[in-house]
Amino acid sequence: MPELPPDVTLDEVKERARLAGLPIPLERLSLVRGFLSNALKPIRALDSRAVRTVEPAVIFHAEVDAKGGAESGS
């Protein structure tokens, strides 16, 4: 498995905040960085290949669902 980055960078926090439209004051970036780093640890440690798939993936057809259900075959 490829090695993951050791921690979240301040630039990553700034970019995530910008993309989310969150105005985070510069003096709070390191605090938010710690929160984000702690929140991502379990996700980054997870090997998704080891998780057994229980159900098939859901398939979404936008055209059919926009009409209110499956096509009637006409």
Neighbours of 60 (CB within 10 A): 7
Q: How many domains does the chain have?
A: 1
Q: Residue 5's pLDDT is what?
A: 55
**Average pLDDT of 31-57?**
84
Q: What is the pLDDT of residues 53-72, one digit of tens each?
A: 777 778 877 776 555 655 55
**Helix H or strand E segment including 41:** helix 29-45
Report if residue 1 sits inside a domain.
no
* Amino acid of residue 30: S
Report if residue 35 sits inside a domain.
yes
Report if residue 41 sits inside a domain.
yes
The range of the structural domain enclosing residue 27 comes to 10-66
Report if residue 74 sits inside a domain.
no
The pTM of this model reads 0.54
Report if residue 24 sits inside a domain.
yes
Report if residue 48 sits inside a domain.
yes
Report if residue 71 sits inside a domain.
no
Which of 1, 10, 15 is closest to 45 using CA atoms? 1
The answer to whether the CB of 44 falls within 8 A of the CB of 4 is yes
Q: Residue 33's pLDDT is what?
A: 92
Report if residue 49 sits inside a domain.
yes
